[in-house]
Amino acid sequence: MLNYETLKEKPKEFLVATGLRLAEFELILPVFRVKYAGLFEAGKNRKGKPRQRREGGGVKEKLRTDEDKLLFILVYQKTYPLQTMHGLQFGLSQPQTNEWIHRLLPILRDSLAEMGKSPERDPQAVADNLLVNENMPDLLIDGTERRRQRPKDAKEQEEHYSGKKKTHTDKNILLANAHSRKVVYLSPTESGKKHDKKIADENNIAYPAGTILGQDTGFQGYKPECVYVLQPKKSQKAKI
């Protein structure tokens, strides 16, 4: 099973599993610990009822330490596995995994927000965002899709079917700083059928003046004002 004490001795595997280096993990941990401790009132259990046992009594949690809790939710965010598969990695059942995910995701979100590390969600605030302007506004834009459960409604099925992925998906547009490699903007979630450029156009992102923007052919024709666009072209050999 995965746990912090074992994985921290394997820097490469730690980075692959969480998307963070150990030093970055340890920067988040103190904030995460305080946020998690604030979930529960003194003398009460998780359901807000008075404790029948002293704190620490009863059945022991599989995710006993704050390090393991943070590792659990980071691995989930990085790899986005089925809950059953994620639970197998940490010795949890699917219902337990679901409960932990819903408990820890808000904690991680609040921790990153307090540290100023959350991606911007307001497209009009991108130009003034500190993460965007870190080093210089040299940005990369791309669309990202993730599989979702097949909708029961026929119209929803059509909207969420991605011809590119050959399955039903949700989609977001993201911006990353090419120097810091941090995600600096995350768009609202759209259906998988929607084209990357259309989502970008509808979001009307405000870029800092002089931004260099790298993009792929999914954004063909996307040229915001005051932005220098870099888009690679396919070689003639690739077209043959």
Place of tokens 């039903």: 168
Q: What digits encode the pLDDT tens for the residues 191-219?
A: 989 999 999 999 999 999 999 999 998 89
Distance CA 79, CA 18 (A): 8
Structure confidence at residue 21 as a pLDDT band (50, 70, 90)? very high
pTM over 0.75: no
Per-residue pLDDT at 146 = 86
Q: Is 144 helix (H, G, I), strand (E, B) or coil?
A: strand
Structure tokens at 62: 């599989």
In this prediction, residue 47 carries a pLDDT of 59
Average pLDDT score over the chain: 88
Calpha distance 166→69 (Å, rounded): 34
Residue 240's pLDDT is 55
Average pLDDT of the segment spanning 128-144? 89
Name the nearest CA neighbour of 228 among 208, 207, 213: 213
pLDDT at 59: 59
**Percentage of the residues of the chain whose pLDDT score is greater than 70:** 89
Does the pLDDT of residue 127 top 70, yes or no? yes
- CB-CB neighbours of 129 under 10 Å: 20
Structure tokens at 227: 């932005």
Choose among 207, 202, 136, 210: nearest CA to 173. Answer: 202
CA distances in angstroms from 238 to 81, 216, 233, listed in the order given = 34, 15, 10
pLDDT in tens, 144-197: 988 888 888 888 888 888 888 888 999 999 999 998 888 999 999 999 899 999
**Cα–Cα distance for residue pair 111/118, rounded to 1 Å:** 9
Q: How much is the pLDDT for 181?
A: 85
137 — pLDDT class (breaks 50, 70, 90): confident
Q: For 1-19, what is the mean pLDDT?
A: 93
84 vs 62, more confident: 84
The tens digit of pLDDT for each residue in 27-66 reads: 999 999 999 988 876 655 565 567 666 665 555 678 989 9
- The two three-digit tokens of residue 188, written as one number: 């609202």
Q: What 3-state class would DSSP assign to 19?
A: coil
Q: Give pLDDT, residue 239.
A: 54
180 token code pair:
């810091």
Cα–Cα distance measured from residue 84 to residue 72, given in angstroms and rounded to the nearest whole number: 13
Give the C-alpha separation, 65 to 48, whole Å: 21
**H or E, element range at 201:** helix 196-203
Q: Could you give the CA distance from residue 222 to residue 208 in angstroms, rounded to a whole number?
A: 16
Pull the structure tokens for residue 194. Answer: 């929607």
Strand-strand pairing, 211-214 and 138-147? parallel
The DSSP element (H or E) to which 51 belongs, if any, is: none
In one-letter notation, the amino acid at residue 237 is: K
In this prediction, residue 237 carries a pLDDT of: 63
